[in-house]
Structure formats: structure tokens, C-alpha cells
Amino acid sequence: MSQLSWWSTLGYRTRRIEPKKWAKLLASLLLVYGLAAPSWAQQAKREIRVAAASDLQPVLPALAERYEKATGIKLVISYGSSGNLTTQILNGAPMDIFLGADFVFPEKVVAAGLADGTAPTQYARGTLVLWARKDSPLQPITLDSLTDKRVTSVAIANDLRAPYGQAAVAALKRLKMYDAVKPHLVVGENITQAAQFVRSGNAQLGFISLTAASTPQFKSEGSFVRVPRSTYAPILQCAVVMKNSDRKGEAHAFLNWLLKPEVQSSLEPMGLEPVH
């Protein structure tokens, strides 16, 4: 049975299409696809790849949701210590913007010629705190709690990779407590891990970011004291946009949005000091 007669048995009407008509039909389909393709490509690119310091983990989800509602652009976020993220970027990780926890690590990206600019842009200032669970026998917590004879574990972020860890070590040395506390340090890869150690009870005290301490979970489960800012270098949180990103415009637009007064004013309740 021929293909034509087989289709006829199924009740389909068949009609031979002339080659010229086939050409017109094909041209029409290509035109439709050609018009639609840029739209699909644009849709696929309506996101920004963000490398973000771990202290931003309690902060960025809310900001990302707010930004997506305002612009339709989604933030795809990878968290980690500023040092680890810098290493990944220097090794070619495809990111559009890097939100570090200090100036030093973003500056390394600039020095490597990978940033779209000559210097990092500060977007906030961080604060170091000492936190303990409410059920801790060390309550009410003070900085003197660090040298209490009952203390056997103090959580801290890796001072080689995490700016908050560097700040904690500097503070301990300035307070002349480092030698006494050093044997008890429990080191997390980043500030989020350090916070998890002390929240879970695997450490009795913990140097954590104010962004973590300001979350509902940490507020309900523990209390903190601020570490005097005179004891550690300012935690100037800075950002750089990647020079080789194909979404530089979108990344710069997000950074500009982050610096708007109405956005900056919303940072303080989340534990970051605005730059304005």
C-alpha cells in the first residue's frame, strides 16, 4: 500500500503541495522562528550569577525576591567564604558579580584584571558579634565569657579565607585573649558554618556576623554582644562586576539598585550597616 493510500484509509485527506508552496511555508516558519528566537534568548538571560559572601546568606534571599519583582531579573546565588569565591573566580568560575565580605578579596579580582572597573565598590559594612545559646550556663554573655574556665569551644570562621574570621582573630589579640582562647577555637570554613557550630551546640560561644544574629532563629535561640569595632579593622563589604560577563549591564544595574537609599535603609534591620 502506498503512503498516500495508507493515510487515506485513516480518513485523512491528502493533497500534494507544490515545491514553490513548500518553499514559502518553510520561509514563513523560519521568519517566525527568527522573530521569536531573540525573545527566547533574552528570556534565558534574565538572570544574574552572583558570588556572595556567606554573611549575606540571611540577607540576599529577601533582596533577590524584591529585585526580581521590580525588574523581572532573577539572582542565581552561590555562597561561600570570600577567599574561596575569589579562588573560584580567579580559576574561571562564570560569575557576573562578586559581593565580598571585605575590600581585600574583591581587590584581588581587580588586580587580576577580571573586574569591570579599577576598584571595588562598597555596598555595606559588617559587624562582628559574640553569640551563645539561651540555655548556655555562660549567660548572660559578655566578652569576658571567652575566658570563663567552663569554656572549651569557641566557633570562629577560617581567618585565612573569611573576613569575619580575620576580624575575630584581630579582636582576640587586641583584647589580649588570643593565647587563652586559641586552644578552644573550632574553625568553620566560613561565617555561616561557624554560626551553625554554635547554634547546634557544637560550640559554646561563637564569633558570628550580625546578619546571622539578626535572623528570627538566632534571636529566638540565643543572645549576643557586639565586639567593639575598635578591636578589628572595618569590615567594608565590597563588590565587583566581572569584566568578561555577558551580563555586565544587568550586573551593574543590580549593584546600582543595591546602593539606592531606599534599599540601603533596609539593610540595617538585617544586620548590615548602610554606606550612606
Mean pLDDT, residues 232-258 taken together: 97
Mean pLDDT, residues 242-263 taken together: 97
Q: How confident is the model at residue 276 (pLDDT cuts 50, 70, 90)?
A: confident
Task: Kindly report whether the global pTM for this prediction surpasses the value 0.85.
Answer: no
Cα–Cα dist 209/228, whole Å = 13
Whether residues 121 and 248 fall in one domain: yes
Residues above pLDDT 90, as percent of the chain: 83
Whether residues 94 and 134 fall in one domain: no
Beta bridge partners of 33: none
Mean pLDDT, residues 208-227 taken together: 98
Using one digit for the tens of pLDDT, what is the confidence trace for 127-148? Answer: 999 999 999 999 999 999 999 9
User: Is 1 domain-assigned?
Assistant: no
Whether residues 95 and 67 fall in one domain: yes
Using one digit for the tens of pLDDT, what is the confidence trace for 178-193? Answer: 999 999 999 999 999 9
Q: Give residues with Cβ within 8 angstroms of 267, minimum separation 6.
A: 59, 124, 273, 274
User: Is 2 domain-assigned?
Assistant: no
pLDDT number for residue 2: 46
> Which three three-digit cell numbers place residue 41?
534568548
Q: How many domains does the chain have?
A: 3
CA angle centred on 48, ends 42 and 51, rounded to 5°: 160
Question: Domain limits at 245?
Answer: 44-125+235-270
Using one digit for the tens of pLDDT, what is the confidence trace for 23-49? Answer: 555 555 444 445 444 444 444 458 999
Cα–Cα dist 274/260, whole Å = 10
User: Is 159 domain-assigned?
Assistant: yes
Whether residues 96 and 185 fall in one domain: no
Whether residues 63 and 29 fall in one domain: no
Please report where in the chains the cell 523581572 appears, as a residue. 72
Whether residues 56 and 121 fall in one domain: yes
User: Is 137 domain-assigned?
Assistant: yes
Whether residues 157 and 225 fall in one domain: yes
Whether residues 114 and 247 fall in one domain: yes
